[in-house]
Structure 1
Amino acid sequence: MKADETLDCYGLMCPMPIFKTAGKMNEIAPGKILEIIATDEGIKKDIVSWCNSTGNELLEINEEEGEIHLFVRKSS
């Protein structure tokens, strides 16, 4: 999946990946896709809850070689 922006949360532990995601989403335009790269397994559960509470859309979660790649579309 192609993202408009990428946020590197590699090595950060909860709650920092969600905190940084929220900040980055405030900077991008509605409809844009943010890729979050993280290593904390908790992000997979946390991003679902965060998207449900903010109205943003979780598009995809991929794992490759210890990295978790999450794709979120900013709501309008």
Structure 2
Amino acid sequence: MQPDVRVDASGTWCPVPILEIAKAVRRLAPGALVELVATDPGVARDLPAWCEATGHQLLSLERRDALWVAWVRKACAGG
């Protein structure tokens, strides 16, 4: 998969990773794909909750050593 945008929030702590992905998603068209890279373990609970609250689709969230890597698809208009 090739993301439309990659958000690198490495080295930041809550709430910065969620604020950064939210800012990126606002600039994208519906259906766009965002890759988020973070080091804050809180993203494992915060990102799924944010996706549920906003309607964006969490495609994957995995830990890769010290990193958390997530793929999110922006919600389609009206959905």
Common fold: TM-score over 0.5: yes
- Unmatched runs of 5 consecutive residues or more in structure 1: none
Q: CA RMSD in A?
A: 0.9
Aligned-pair identity (%): 36
Q: 4+ residue stretches of structure 1 with deviation over 6 A?
A: none
Alpha-carbon displacement from aligned partner over 1:14-68 (angstroms, at most 9, x marks no partner)? 0011011111100111101100000000001000110011000000012212111
Structure 2 Cα separation of the partners of residues 68 and 58 of structure 1: 13
Tell me if 1:24 matches 2:24: yes
Q: Distance in 2 between matches of 1:74 and 1:51?
A: 9
> Equivalences for 1:1-76 in 2 at 5 Å?
1-76=1-76
Distance 1:5 1:57 in 2: 15
Would you say how many aligned residue pairs link Structure 1 and Structure 2? Answer: 76
Mapped to 1, the partners of 2:23 and 2:47 lie a distance apart of 14
* Other structure's SS at 1:45 match: helix
